[in-house]
Structure 1
């Protein structure tokens, strides 16, 4: 097998319990659950051999199987999506070239984000993990700052070096940039898109490491790789007119539904 996409989903979210089963209303009024829309997004990605939902909850399993998804059950002890992906691969007994973690709260992820991510990891033999980053417009940057000012833990930002290797990821809006940016003006801030591509050896190693202090402070699973000195390649992706946002808090439902109406996503 070449590429396996795993969609990790848990019901017991601290910030938003039951989040995968929340309905999102599209432009035509059609309601589909968050996990269904994430599955639909995964199924549009070319070059993928298999897509599975990984969960520890019977309600999510039953719902996902009801719309035709393949489901693999994982332990309630998984602390994040990366650990759940590692367990899912082990439970399936597969040996893919690349494992993609398309988190179940990212229904607006365009297919080319994932396709460019896979291509980026394949092109860099030194990279063990890759993740997409999207340059923020002034509007997106302002939305991220507004979330932080309101005390909401929302989107994540990324900073990286000239070689595109990640330096840090944060729930704060970094780097700091003085001044204002127009709604459609590019800003120096990069939104981290919550998708990962792993080489299987890195995924297996990750599951054996304890949480690091930065990971615990920020609540960001990818920091465990950086704290262990492992390379994360940041692959810049293009919006191509699409808006992107992840569902982290209940307030994000209305924001995502508005984006879906604007982009005419059914």
Structure 2
């Protein structure tokens, strides 16, 4: 379903599935998706996208990484992060955030983000950020949840795997932090997006229930 949602985005010229798993590849080919096999050595989505880009014959200016566990991603969000990167020549990366639900505040599988006054990322964390002195969620603060979608400048994506891992990236296990720690800028757009991706097995039932309640196929 994630592939179907991606195909609806107007800013994408080509949608492919990049994977190192033959079972996933066979499944995707079964519903008509283009598949690029990547190596098992890819440490994150950015590295997998970089390898896939090298294997494509066409030249692209922007590459969008839409994680397969985002079956409810809206095409408008995909288009939005592409446009955000196009309109931000000082950035090499763009992504999207939405409002964080209070019940997800201390869930390490829900990545949080803080943004500066100009719409650029300051930091991403598995912990609650910002974190106040009371140690409790402030119901009046607009906490942000990072969504599993990002776009990269194609030239930057080619060098991303060559950048050595960084301390914050390794500690948080978040690929976005390697971009920030190396001094690059990341554009962030705020969107309305009610559902989150499938991060743990329990999320499958939540997403399926969400889809049933809204008659989504």
- After TM superposition, give the deviation of residue 46 of structure 1 in Å: 1.3
Alignment correspondent of 2:83: 119
1:150-203: CA deviations, max 9, x gaps? xxx31111001101111100111212365564xxxx751111111111111110
Alignment correspondent of 2:187: 233
1:85-138: CA deviations, max 9, x gaps? 0000001133212110001111111111111111111111111110011123xx
2:198 paired residue among 244, 247, 250 = 247
Alignment correspondent of 1:28: none
1:162 paired residue among 117, 139, 160 = 117
Q: Secondary structure at the match of 1:120?
A: helix
Distance across 2 between alignment mates of 1:109 and 1:191? 14
Q: Which runs of 5+ in 2 are unaligned?
A: none
Distance across 1 between alignment mates of 2:40 and 2:137? 45
Distance across 2 between alignment mates of 1:127 and 1:219? 22
Alignment correspondent of 1:13: none
Distance across 2 between alignment mates of 1:192 and 1:119? 18
Alignment size in residue pairs: 214
Measured on the aligned residues, the alpha-carbon RMSD in Å equals 1.6
Contact 2:113 2:129 in 1 (8 A): yes
Q: Secondary structure at the match of 1:214?
A: helix
Contact 1:155 1:246 in 2 (8 A): no
1:206 paired residue among 155, 160, 166 = 160
Alignment correspondent of 2:103: 142
Distance across 2 between alignment mates of 1:132 and 1:56? 26
Q: Which runs of 5+ in 1 are unaligned?
A: 1-36
Structure 1: 4+ residue segments shifted above 4 A: 177-180
2:62 paired residue among 93, 98, 107 = 98
Alignment correspondent of 1:30: none
Distance across 2 between alignment mates of 1:73 and 1:62? 11
- After TM superposition, give the deviation of residue 80 of structure 1 in Å: 0.5
1:75 paired residue among 39, 42, 45 = 39
Distance across 1 between alignment mates of 2:115 and 2:185? 11
